[in-house]
Amino acid sequence: MRKELGNKVRKKTYAMRYVAGQPVEQIFPPGSMLHLGQALPPGAPLTPDAHLKILVWNIFKQQRADWMSVLQGFGKDAHLVLLQEAQTTPELIQFATSNYLAADQVPAFVLPQHPSGVMTLASAHPVYCCPLREREPLLRLAKSALVTAYPLPTGEMLMVVNIHAVNFSLGIDVYSKQLGPIGEQILHHKGPVIMAGDFNAWSRQRIHALYRFAREMALKEVRFTDDHRRKAFGRPLDFVFYRDMNVNKASVLVTRASDHNPLLVEFNAAR
């Protein structure tokens, strides 16, 4: 009986924080949400002015050539880099800690050598970090999401959601279940929000569930004029949603360095 119970206990969800010159830190979900005061005192803001640039990319576990040159070419001057399927190889950690103040990764599943999951690289230290995981019902692998918050020069707090949505599931129960705790955090947050990543919205049911969720959270979708986003069954998989900001520019970079194309978005944080 004890053994049966032990098998049912879910693995603890946590984030790994990488900061140059410091030991790797394990971050567990906070006891309460950001709006209840579970945050560190804000340090330097994410951006010195209202201009905010982000890169969103499923990096395909760095399995293809040229992923580093894409990151160096387009990620270096971004204030936030939201990666999905980021494998914590020494090369990626070196890039992250050399170019960003903090990198937080939620290990979704452990490959033979390096864990893989969502990773958020930021030009400021997060004041809040909440890792989330949801198990794929068919493959029994996990997908991860990460909610972080950073101070802005406006004095507001920017909530950032980096998500890799469950892929192989029948119906949308598990898909909606993964969005649930994220929605709870966004609903209670007073201030700007960016929610982006690989949403695996390849079916009509899934895209409807995602758009319904965005409407309930008062999130707008970033539109891409030359839309070269990776598609499955004719539907894009990667999205950027936002609230309480303006979009200056949005583009999709065409590359063979992954099975997804990176999204580049420039926001104006001042409303």
Is residue 39 domain-resident? Answer: no
pLDDT at 31: 80
Is residue 72 domain-resident? Answer: yes
pLDDT at 64: 92
Q: Which residue has the tokens 């192989």?
A: 168
Residues contacting 147, CB < 8 A, separation 6+: 34, 128, 129, 130, 132, 159, 160, 161, 182, 185
Residue 163 near residue 118 (C-beta atoms within 8 A): yes
pLDDT in tens, the chain (271 residues): 333 333 333 458 899 999 999 999 999 998 877 776 666 777 889 999 999 999 999 999 999 999 999 999 988 889 999 999 999 999 999 999 999 999 999 987 665 578 889 999 999 999 999 999 887 666 556 788 999 999 999 999 999 999 999 776 666 888 888 999 999 999 999 999 999 999 999 899 999 999 999 999 999 999 999 999 999 999 999 999 999 999 999 999 999 999 999 999 999 986 6
Residue 137 near residue 168 (C-beta atoms within 8 A): yes
The whole-angstrom distance between residue 185's C-alpha and the CA centroid of its chain comes to 14
Is residue 200 domain-resident? Answer: yes
Query: Which CATH number belongs to the domain containing residue 245 in this structure?
Result: 3.60.10.10
How far apart are the C-alpha atoms of 189 and 147, rounded to whole Å?
Answer: 11
Is residue 71 domain-resident? Answer: yes
How far apart are the C-alpha atoms of 147 and 149, rounded to whole Å?
Answer: 7
How far apart are the C-alpha atoms of 47 and 152, rounded to whole Å?
Answer: 7
pLDDT at 12: 81
Is residue 171 domain-resident? Answer: yes
Q: Which helix (H) or strand (E) holds 149?
A: strand 142-151
Domain that residue 120 falls in: 2-29+45-268
Is residue 35 domain-resident? Answer: no
pLDDT at 108: 76
pLDDT at 143: 83
Residues contacting 250, CB < 8 A, separation 6+: 222, 223, 224, 225, 240, 263, 264, 265, 266
Predicted structure pTM score: 0.92
pLDDT at 269: 84
The whole-angstrom distance between residue 132's C-alpha and the CA centroid of its chain comes to 11
pLDDT at 140: 58
Number of structural domains the chain divides into: 1
How far apart are the C-alpha atoms of 14 and 53, rounded to whole Å?
Answer: 27
pLDDT at 37: 67
Is residue 34 domain-resident? Answer: no
Is residue 204 domain-resident? Answer: yes
pLDDT at 114: 81
